[in-house]
Amino acid sequence: MKEECGVVGVLLDDTKSQSKTAALQIYYSLYALQHRGQESTGITVYNGGSTHSLKGMGLVPEVYAREDIVKLVGHVGIGHVRYSTTGQSRIENCQPLIVNYKSGTVAIAHNGNLINGHDLRDELESEGRIFITDSDTEVVAHLLVKELLKHGAVESIKNVMKRLKGSYSLAIMIDDLLIAARDPLGIKPLCIGKTDLGLVVASESVAIDTLNGKLIRDVKPGEIVVLKDGEVESHQVYNTTHAAHCVFEYIYFARPDSVIDGQLVYKVRERIGRELAKEHSVEADIISPVPDSGITSAVGYSRESKIQYQEGLMKNRYIGRTFILPGQEMREIAVRLKMNTIAENIEDKKVVLIDDSVVRGTTSRRIINMIKDSGAREVHARIGSPAIIAPCYMGIDMATREELIAANNKVENICNTINADSLGYLSIDGLVRAIGLDKEDLCMGCLTEVYPLEIPGEKCQCRQTRLNQF
Amino acid sequence: MKEECGVVGVLLDDTKSQSKTAALQIYYSLYALQHRGQESTGITVYNGGSTHSLKGMGLVPEVYAREDIVKLVGHVGIGHVRYSTTGQSRIENCQPLIVNYKSGTVAIAHNGNLINGHDLRDELESEGRIFITDSDTEVVAHLLVKELLKHGAVESIKNVMKRLKGSYSLAIMIDDLLIAARDPLGIKPLCIGKTDLGLVVASESVAIDTLNGKLIRDVKPGEIVVLKDGEVESHQVYNTTHAAHCVFEYIYFARPDSVIDGQLVYKVRERIGRELAKEHSVEADIISPVPDSGITSAVGYSRESKIQYQEGLMKNRYIGRTFILPGQEMREIAVRLKMNTIAENIEDKKVVLIDDSVVRGTTSRRIINMIKDSGAREVHARIGSPAIIAPCYMGIDMATREELIAANNKVENICNTINADSLGYLSIDGLVRAIGLDKEDLCMGCLTEVYPLEIPGEKCQCRQTRLNQF
Amino acid sequence: MKEECGVVGVLLDDTKSQSKTAALQIYYSLYALQHRGQESTGITVYNGGSTHSLKGMGLVPEVYAREDIVKLVGHVGIGHVRYSTTGQSRIENCQPLIVNYKSGTVAIAHNGNLINGHDLRDELESEGRIFITDSDTEVVAHLLVKELLKHGAVESIKNVMKRLKGSYSLAIMIDDLLIAARDPLGIKPLCIGKTDLGLVVASESVAIDTLNGKLIRDVKPGEIVVLKDGEVESHQVYNTTHAAHCVFEYIYFARPDSVIDGQLVYKVRERIGRELAKEHSVEADIISPVPDSGITSAVGYSRESKIQYQEGLMKNRYIGRTFILPGQEMREIAVRLKMNTIAENIEDKKVVLIDDSVVRGTTSRRIINMIKDSGAREVHARIGSPAIIAPCYMGIDMATREELIAANNKVENICNTINADSLGYLSIDGLVRAIGLDKEDLCMGCLTEVYPLEIPGEKCQCRQTRLNQF
Amino acid sequence: MKEECGVVGVLLDDTKSQSKTAALQIYYSLYALQHRGQESTGITVYNGGSTHSLKGMGLVPEVYAREDIVKLVGHVGIGHVRYSTTGQSRIENCQPLIVNYKSGTVAIAHNGNLINGHDLRDELESEGRIFITDSDTEVVAHLLVKELLKHGAVESIKNVMKRLKGSYSLAIMIDDLLIAARDPLGIKPLCIGKTDLGLVVASESVAIDTLNGKLIRDVKPGEIVVLKDGEVESHQVYNTTHAAHCVFEYIYFARPDSVIDGQLVYKVRERIGRELAKEHSVEADIISPVPDSGITSAVGYSRESKIQYQEGLMKNRYIGRTFILPGQEMREIAVRLKMNTIAENIEDKKVVLIDDSVVRGTTSRRIINMIKDSGAREVHARIGSPAIIAPCYMGIDMATREELIAANNKVENICNTINADSLGYLSIDGLVRAIGLDKEDLCMGCLTEVYPLEIPGEKCQCRQTRLNQF
Ligand SMILES: Nc1ncnc2c1ncn2[C@@H]1O[C@H](COP(=O)(O)OP(=O)(O)O)[C@@H](O)[C@H]1O
Ligand SMILES: Nc1ncnc2c1ncn2[C@@H]1O[C@H](COP(=O)(O)OP(=O)(O)O)[C@@H](O)[C@H]1O
Ligand SMILES: Nc1ncnc2c1ncn2[C@@H]1O[C@H](COP(=O)(O)OP(=O)(O)O)[C@@H](O)[C@H]1O
Ligand SMILES: Nc1ncnc2c1ncn2[C@@H]1O[C@H](COP(=O)(O)OP(=O)(O)O)[C@@H](O)[C@H]1O
Ligand code: SF4
Ligand code: SF4
Ligand code: SF4
Ligand code: SF4
Ligand SMILES: [Mg+2]
Ligand SMILES: [Mg+2]
Ligand SMILES: [Mg+2]
Ligand SMILES: [Mg+2]
């Protein structure tokens, strides 16, 4: 599973001081959002008269040299980390996207995926427009600039939002104006915070924490927020009866210490574990997580079931970097390099193994085999999400329907395939309870095959969103 | 003085073979054109279905790994080397520029400068269009794609050419169609050649030589050539009474072994030396060049004057790379690192020192001082071009009028400033004779302050160019 | 605290096959040992006739390209990861050290520190010998080669071991002979394993696990093992009444999934937590670890105390790389970048905070302040080791006596300094119980100021080691 | 043909100033010596208390960042550029070699090759000594340090020189003492100069020129010079009846603007051309060099023969870097990438083609074929050296006897092989006259098969060298 991006925007209160270290604040924030994208990163700032950028392929500490950050003077700016869903690792695709237009410069950092991105691109191409990158972001830039010729910034973004279908959390800088916007269903997270030095918007609240700031609130679905003179000005473009927050942010993507749409991810995961224990109890000796994503749920399962929490697998902390290694043999040894059993903890034990989700089943099978090779008597797989039976169209590159093991197999089959002694998925209702939001406010398209947006060939339970009058 | 770019396009006869090594041919060609740009380079090829590129900052051997070239399969492609005139060394500005539009992909490699580039950009921006790079090339791309929606490739390029004012030699690839075009005055060079494997267009004929090919002819001013099925199809867009070939290609930019618009650069430089000897003869012991650009003219001067050719300066062959070294002190020692006197050859000698041109005069003064410190009795500077008294608007970053020593000083003053015992510039007529083309077919704007195109605030002796009917 | 190194040696059974992929096995092993050194790494293999190496600064995946590993053909080899204790990051210091001598080549990978390294260096220098690196390894190489001129490999290493005082775990390759040796007190870990392809020695058993092998046993203190023809040949050089295994391998350095001298590190840490709970019980709401090193002990403390385990801190998984960022401000924000509080989990709570050790106290203070800022009512620090009151002379760069907070302060003072509500260190006896080995077999020099080896100016309770007769 | 190295040493007069920019002086010098080695480079300086170095693979501007040079504070230092003869491109082999020994630090930069290097290495290895690099320099370091334990610096170097057979020009820094030494036959060049800031020793005088200094004199064969307090102290270790200066320094290696052992290389090459014209006159239209090495001789040949000098080949100035490109096809196109004909200059012409030497004949054949393809009527090859019939044992990697075309073929055969219409080599006596030194003071081993030193299996006309009494 691959998450697309993390975005951040920073506006310093002091627009006059010499230092104007918006870039440094953005840099620290991107560190905190690194888990949302490790392929490329960029920072763009505006300093009174002009826009300057740093960009590159790789991790935050690899791309930015301290000297360069220090030279990137400006009191306002935006930043981005990116995880390619397409595999097209091109420097041209690295964000923020900066475009010059009639009246100045627009910089855009985008997290999400447009369902009608292709159509909009076609439409724009029909006007004779050209595209230099592969990204939806360039589509947004075209639409936005067209509006900016006729309207003010907020009006323009509003008009653009009318055209977009899909998920988007945007940090936009129009010259020195910092604006954030979130799609009408609030699919991807976006929140606002306050630090000693000014205001910040970010994909996750951990970015605000890192700056020693306070989370003010989430950007609302369908809302545009303008950060100006230390104030947060709100424009509710859409009124939405129900949101469609992506459940996988809670299940897997977000950092456990982030608070998204009012819910602490850590707590959600703990409750997922408790729900799972209630739904699929089993007599066992120990509860073991697949680290890191299974840890918190395993703690919850243990607490609910009163069965002892005991780590049976240890994750290599340096393995994050192996994605750069190609080769057949590598893939075979990959699981073993990434994960090791703690044999003594599992020998002769009945193990409940907790993971967040199962996509293709290959990794689960390898892990369970490793555990059995290390002497476990039984392995009972418990999955902190319902079965993934359909693809995501809102920006998550899970797999095709052909590849998704649960799209094509019953639970018993999957259980056999992954070599488990029993297998239990969390129920939809259990998940909803664990998240703690109204079921109608969640996207669960990949779990139910019912999407919150119209997607050709798929069922849809559309949310009622109504454009506000201004 | 900085030259902007070199372009190349290659079309293999065999469009079906597995190898399809257009990229390799382009790569070799770019080696031969490296002197036209050392800042960045790119190659784009088309392989039946799609377009692929390699790009990077630096020299040709630094940017392209052999493996990568080999993987860049395609039977047609274009390439580029670039020398920034603006100092904006951004990877985004690296060419070819590749844009996606309604019906496919357009790749453009451009050498030249648009006088109305800014106006066209304004006009396009007024339509709500956006710009991601700083380059004129993106302007051309916008105009071209607008036309391509309504017209065929040739018609489209013709219509674009009607809008462009300035110098341009273009290699354009529209999907698999390779097209070259040259501005109506033929300011920048562009020629066509044939190799064992197919056809090639290039900024200079040395690229064709390197591929062991034969120069067919120059692209004519105002001509579009389509390379198709091994044939060269010509479309004369403009009929031009007189061209305006840049004289500095002969004086300085081009490689001596290139043939440009029918004239071998080496021979031109040799004749420059002879003319100079006739116009500014002097009694002396030796004729010495400022290497490398003065060498051929010095040989010509020596032959005409019957005074012995003797090298008094030796150039460090590795110094080309020092441009990466910043710092005050460096600039002071720069001349000495770049050039050394051969004291024994100049001691007690009256030296005629030949260089191609004088821009600011600083380097000339340092060199002459070095020669005098090494014991020369007299140094008579002879310059293979008339005095540069005005800027170039067609793509050459010479200097501003304030910086140009000859724009603000008489010859005697300059002679004093550079510490020479006498100073002789080649006359305009001498230069014309040396080049061997009709005076009316040359651009000498920077030497005469009369330009071949209308430029706000400058005198113009415009060429009559008439659009052809098709 | 900085650990010096990880070593590995691999001998394939099939010495004849074409593939001879010892390098690949070493490469995977070094991945598993990466936590023991991130500064530089090297691999050396022997292929019938000659010795070849790859080396470089940085992490394992950064230094080795797959192609290069594949080309490094050989059936036997050794590898190394290094963490500089001296701050001298020079490529020359990168191991294995390869030396040519009269009869061939010796390659050495070394983990440990010689107490008499300086004296031996002086002695060797007095003979007119020269040193190219700063390392003890070069000292060992000199001594070994001197012996090899007169004796066989085992005899030679035996004679060298007679000269060395300090800690050392060595993987040595003399041409194609793979030998491992461990100091008479077994201070640093070293173990032997068997894989499908052959034999392996490594600093930690996780390297063997990663190769899907089985741990055979530890190399014994004072033992030389020769790996030959698939057999492990043992030579007990020293008979030791008591070993002196470094307790900090269990407390902090080693991976929790490693088994060292018969004890699973994970279990030791869990018992440390239990002991700590017994010794320093406190009424509290939650038990929280300082991740990652405090996690396992916190689980143990929770189980013993029956107080709920709840994570209050989240560690940024990508921060490992920030050590490359210099600068004042960085250090201040460093803790916040590395660690974030999960406010909801700790608000209004009495928190027992478990960490492995306290060196200077600075980091502890910053973390406790963060936790209190996030609303914790009380923070009770519990440390999984006795107070560190003296430096280590056996290879661990802890700090000087001046810097060690516990060397100069009473517990109350420390408690105040770090802003905790109470502070409890594990007792010496508790630690010994947790480790599960005889107290007399442990080194606890830095905790007791009594060292297992004679060190000028320090107290010593020397172990009785007796040289074996052969 | 590959030259091994360039060395430099700098001692500033002002040993106290804050700046202490010996490193910067060395850096500039290495630029000037870059033609003597492009594989790796290093600088070592001493600053009152300790020795610091910068080293790396690649060209001078690639290895040294300006900041690093500035930080390398010291008033005395040595530097090196290296061209591997062995193909072993290892960072370990990069010089200066810095060794620590009993009383301090010795740094050595070495140009040359020891004939008894292998024997000395064996001898040292028999003492149990170890070698970390492949270089003769480490042999010298061992011998020197052995002496330094018993004797002063000069006495020690004297004693070392008694042991060395072969060519060596050494810059040695023993703590802050800068010493240069040259082998008793003065095979490799080494000279002394004075700048505004202090003293300098260097392989070629161009390094001194670059620092705006004055050449004082060459280091004499068998001489040790100590640079101290701004003075040059001489110790003549050996009295030599006759030197054996390598003739190929004049013919090919050295920069034309260098003065070596009293002779300006440029003048030597010009006289070589004149001698060649006298010995092998031919009726022809033009004299053309193979650039760059043939240029000066072609000028001389033209002047003597009164036949016009006309360039028929143009060299690509950027091709120096292609050595990094491997691959079959590359080698075939290599000559064409490196060299282009100026067809117009040679069409229908009888061409005398001047090159410095012929090794294998392959390149000559390719060049002559290119010239004929471009329309030359006849090509008469004239070579500025006698035929190379034997290998060099003093540090130049020419080729094996099997590969040397002239070792196995008569002149007519060679002429046929390279496809020339006639072929003339310079005579031994002609070369001696051109150089202008006593025949007995030259090494011409590779031309005559009689070497100035005893080499097993080769004839020797040994020079009488007598050790001085001190
Ligand atoms: N692969 C691994 N998985 C889990 N823990 C590990 C791993 N490798 C090392 N460790 C443990 O991590 C701890 C050090 O990590 P941590 O406490 O996060 O860093 P530090 O305190 O040095 O900043 C050590 O106790 C070590 O045993
Ligand atoms: N800075 C320099 N300027 C001119 N010639 C140089 C310089 N440095 C080295 N040379 C000369 O260049 C010659 C080698 O160049 P060239 O003949 O072009 O290369 P190749 O080694 O391929 O034959 C040598 O004779 C050397 O003396
Ligand atoms: N800084 C962090 N600390 C702890 N967990 C994190 C952090 N950042 C991301 N995560 C969590 O790590 C999990 C993914 O890690 P893991 O399961 O080890 O990787 P994988 O993608 O291979 O399954 C996600 O659930 C994410 O919430
Ligand atoms: N491959 C080449 N061989 C010889 N001359 C070249 C080559 N490429 C470019 N030149 C010539 O070199 C000259 C520029 O070199 P030079 O005078 O040394 O540099 P500059 O004056 O720009 O410092 C130009 O006149 C150009 O025609
Ligand atoms: S389909 Fe699944 S992954 Fe995609 S947004 Fe909805 S819940 Fe998230
Ligand atoms: S103005 Fe000068 S440099 Fe510019 S195109 Fe004309 S002649 Fe060339
Ligand atoms: S002194 Fe401490 S750190 Fe050092 S070896 Fe002994 S227990 Fe380990
Ligand atoms: S043998 Fe030839 S190349 Fe070697 S030193 Fe003598 S003259 Fe020079
Ligand atoms: Mg996971
Ligand atoms: Mg020039
Ligand atoms: Mg820790
Ligand atoms: Mg040559």
Same domain for C281 and C192: no
Q: Which residues of C touch D92 (CB under 8 A)?
A: 92
C-alpha A389 – ligand 5 centre gap (Å): 11
pLDDT tens digit sequence for C234-265: 999 999 889 999 999 999 999 999 999 999 99
CA distance B318 to D292: 13
Q: Report in angstroms the alpha-carbon separations of A293 from A159, A299, A321, C289.
A: 39, 12, 17, 18
Q: Report in angstroms the alpha-carbon separations of C154 from A256, C10, C147, C466.
A: 54, 18, 10, 18
To test the pocket of ligand 6, the residue of B393, B401, B446 to mutate (highest count of ligand atoms within 8 Å of its CB) is B446
Binding residues of B for Mg(2+) are: 293, 355-356
If contacts are CB pairs under 8 Å, which of residues 125-154 in chain D contact chain C? 125-126, 128-133, 138, 141-142, 145-146, 148-149
Residue nearest (by alpha carbon) to ligand 4 atom 27: B255
What DSSP state is assigned to residue C325?
A: -
Question: Which chains, if any, share at least 3 CB pairs under 8 A with chain C?
Answer: A, D
Specify the amino acid at residue D273: G
pLDDT tens digit sequence for B263-289: 999 999 999 999 999 999 999 999 999
CA distance D181 to D163: 14
Q: Report in angstroms the alpha-carbon separations of C424 from A143, B229, C275.
A: 62, 85, 11
Are A97 and B132 within 8 A, CB to CB?
Answer: yes
Same domain for D362 and D226: no
pLDDT tens digit sequence for D368-390: 999 999 999 999 999 999 999 99
Q: Which of A428, A458, A456 is nearest to A442 (CA)?
A: A428
Residue nearest (by alpha carbon) to ligand 7 atom 5: C246
DSSP SS3 for B453: coil
Alpha helices in D382-422 (DSSP H): 405-408, 411-417
Q: What is the CATH number of the domain that holds A324?
A: 3.40.50.2020
CA atoms within 13 A on the CB side of B63: 26
Whether ligand 6 lies within 6 angstroms of the CB of B446 is answered as: yes
Average pLDDT value for residue range C337-342: 94
Does residue D40 fall inside a structural domain?
yes
Given B210, B244, B278, which residue is the final one in a domain? B244
pLDDT tens digit sequence for C41-65: 999 999 888 899 999 988 898 899 8
Q: Which of D325, D327, D329 sits opposite B61 (nearest CB)?
A: D325
If contacts are CB pairs under 8 Å, which of residues 218-257 in chain B contact chain D? 255-257
- Low-confidence residues in chain B, pLDDT < 70: 1-3, 17-18, 84-90, 320-332, 469-470
Same domain for A271 and A368: yes
Are A341 and C257 within 8 A, CB to CB?
Answer: yes
Given A195, A229, A244, which residue is the final one in a domain? A244
Question: Which chains, if any, share at least 3 CB pairs under 8 A with chain A?
Answer: B, C
Q: Relative to the alpha carbon of D268, which ligand is closest?
A: 2
CA distance D224 to D184: 10
Residue predicted with more confidence, C445 or A84: C445
Reply yes or no on whether the pLDDT at A63 is more than 60.
Answer: yes
- Does residue B318 contact residue D320 with C-beta atoms inside 8 Å? yes
Same domain for D237 and D309: no
C-alpha C355 – ligand 11 centre gap (Å): 7
To test the pocket of ligand 3, the residue of A210, A259, A266, A292 to mutate (highest count of ligand atoms within 8 Å of its CB) is A292
| H or E segment and range at residue D157 | helix D153-163
pLDDT tens digit sequence for C165-200: 999 999 999 999 999 999 999 999 999 999 999 999
Could you tell me whether strands A308-309 and A286-289 are parallel, antiparallel, or unpaired per DSSP bridges?
parallel
C-alpha D398 – ligand 8 centre gap (Å): 9
Are D132 and C97 within 8 A, CB to CB?
Answer: yes
Tell which atom from ligand 1 comes closest to the C-alpha of C355: 17
Residue predicted with more confidence, C426 or C19: C426
* Strand partners for A315: A339
Confidence of residue D320 (pLDDT cuts 50, 70, 90): low
pLDDT of amino acid A178: 98
Q: Which of B433, B437, B436, B386 is nearest to B407 (CA)?
A: B386
Are B317 and D266 within 8 A, CB to CB?
Answer: no
Are D130 and C122 within 8 A, CB to CB?
Answer: no
Burial of residue A118 (number of CB atoms within 10 Å: 0-12, 13-18, 19+): exposed
Q: Which residues of D touch B34 (CB under 8 A)?
A: 316-318
CA distance A38 to B221: 50
Q: Relative to the alpha carbon of D272, which ligand is closest?
A: 2
Reply yes or no on whether the pLDDT at C286 is more than 90.
Answer: yes
Buried b (16+ CB within 10 A) or exposed e, B339-352: bbbbbbbbeebbbb
Does residue D452 fall inside a structural domain?
no
**Tokens describing residue C405:** 């907070």
Domain that holds residue B217: 5-244
CA distance A207 to A258: 9
Q: Is the dihedral of CA A392, A397, A400, A403 positive or negative?
A: negative
Same domain for B200 and B67: yes
- Does residue D179 contact residue D224 with C-beta atoms inside 8 Å? yes
Does residue B30 fall inside a structural domain?
yes
**Tokens describing residue D30:** 């290495």
DSSP SS3 for B147: helix
Does residue C318 fall inside a structural domain?
yes
CA distance D338 to D319: 6
Is C415 a residue of the active site?
A: no
CA distance B295 to B301: 10
Does residue B470 fall inside a structural domain?
no
Mean pLDDT for all residues in chain A: 92
Same domain for D215 and D317: no
pLDDT tens digit sequence for B13-22: 987 766 788 9
Tell which atom from ligand 6 comes closest to the C-alpha of B398: 3
* Strand partners for A113: A167
Same domain for B293 and B419: yes
Same domain for B288 and B171: no
Q: What is the largest CA-CA distance in chain D?
A: 72
Mean pLDDT for all residues in chain D: 92
Tell which atom from ligand 4 comes closest to the C-alpha of B269: 25
pLDDT of amino acid B331: 57
Q: Which residues of D touch B322 (CB under 8 A)?
A: 31, 61
* Strand partners for D199: D11, D194
CA atoms within 13 A on the CB side of C280: 23
pLDDT of amino acid D467: 83
Average pLDDT value for residue range A180-205: 97
Inform me whether the C-beta atom of residue A385 falls under 8 Å from chain C C-beta atoms: no
Same domain for B165 and B58: yes
Whether ligand 8 lies within 6 angstroms of the CB of D396 is answered as: yes
pLDDT of amino acid C311: 96
Does residue D467 fall inside a structural domain?
no
pLDDT of amino acid A332: 62
Are A316 and C60 within 8 A, CB to CB?
Answer: no
CA distance D171 to D181: 7
Confidence of residue D87 (pLDDT cuts 50, 70, 90): very low
- Does residue A347 contact residue A389 with C-beta atoms inside 8 Å? no
Residues by chain with Cβ below 5 Å of ion ligand 10: B 293
Inform me whether the C-beta atom of residue A318 falls under 8 Å from chain C C-beta atoms: yes
Confidence of residue D323 (pLDDT cuts 50, 70, 90): very low
Same domain for A404 and A371: yes
Number of domains in chain A: 2
Whether ligand 7 lies within 6 angstroms of the CB of C446 is answered as: yes
Same domain for C372 and C297: yes
pLDDT of amino acid D65: 84
Q: Which residues of D touch C131 (CB under 8 A)?
A: 99-101
Reply yes or no on whether the pLDDT at D332 is more than 70.
Answer: no
* DSSP codes, D236-258: E-EEESS--EEHHIIIIIS-TT-
* DSSP codes, A80-148: EEE--SS----GGG-SSEEEEETTEEEEEEEEEEETTHHHHHHHHHHTT--BSSSSHHHHHHHHHHHHH
CA distance C33 to C35: 5
Q: What is the ipTM of this complex?
A: 0.90
CA atoms within 13 A on the CB side of C230: 7
Inform me whether the C-beta atom of residue D63 falls under 8 Å from chain C C-beta atoms: no
Reply yes or no on whether the pLDDT at A326 is more than 70.
Answer: no
Reply yes or no on whether the pLDDT at C86 is more than 60.
Answer: no
pLDDT of amino acid C70: 86
Does residue B468 fall inside a structural domain?
no
Tell which atom from ligand 3 comes closest to the C-alpha of A206: 1
Q: Which residues of C touch D148 (CB under 8 A)?
A: 128
pLDDT tens digit sequence for D198-227: 999 999 999 999 999 999 999 999 999 999
Are C59 and A321 within 8 A, CB to CB?
Answer: yes
Q: Which residues of D touch B31 (CB under 8 A)?
A: 316, 318-319, 322, 337
Q: Which of C259, C299, C337 sits opposite A210 (nearest CB)?
A: C337
Of A385-394, B55-64, D261-270, the poorest mean pLDDT is in B55-64
Task: Count interface pairs A-C at CB distance under 8 A.
Answer: 136
> Is residue A13 annotated as involved in ligand binding?
no
C-alpha A91 – ligand 7 centre gap (Å): 48
CA atoms within 13 A on the CB side of B366: 14
pLDDT of amino acid A209: 96
Reply yes or no on whether the pLDDT at A66 is more than 90.
Answer: no
Average pLDDT value for residue range A154-168: 97
Same domain for C201 and C103: yes
CA atoms within 13 A on the CB side of A336: 20
Could you tell me whether strands B459-460 and A50-57 are parallel, antiparallel, or unpaired per DSSP bridges?
unpaired
Q: Relative to the alpha carbon of C252, which ligand is closest?
A: 1
Residue nearest (by alpha carbon) to ligand 5 atom 5: A246
- Does residue C54 contact residue C63 with C-beta atoms inside 8 Å? yes
Are C126 and D149 within 8 A, CB to CB?
Answer: yes
* Strand partners for A379: A351
Q: Which of D81, D7, D8, D71 is nearest to D40 (CA)?
A: D81
Does residue D48 fall inside a structural domain?
yes
Q: Which of D100, D130, D145 sits opposite C99 (nearest CB)?
A: D130
Q: Which of A210, A292, A309 sits opposite C336 (nearest CB)?
A: A210
Confidence of residue C20 (pLDDT cuts 50, 70, 90): confident
Reply yes or no on whether the pLDDT at C322 is more than 50.
Answer: no
Inform me whether the C-beta atom of residue D67 falls under 8 Å from chain B C-beta atoms: no
If contacts are CB pairs under 8 Å, which of residues 273-292 in chain B contact chain D? 292
CA distance A139 to A124: 8
**Tokens describing residue A390:** 């359909």
pLDDT of amino acid A345: 97
Confidence of residue A3 (pLDDT cuts 50, 70, 90): low
Inform me whether the C-beta atom of residue C31 falls under 8 Å from chain A C-beta atoms: yes
Q: Which of C108, C79, C71 is nearest to C7 (CA)?
A: C79
Whether ligand 1 lies within 6 angstroms of the CB of C293 is answered as: yes
Confidence of residue C324 (pLDDT cuts 50, 70, 90): very low
- Does residue B231 contact residue B198 with C-beta atoms inside 8 Å? no
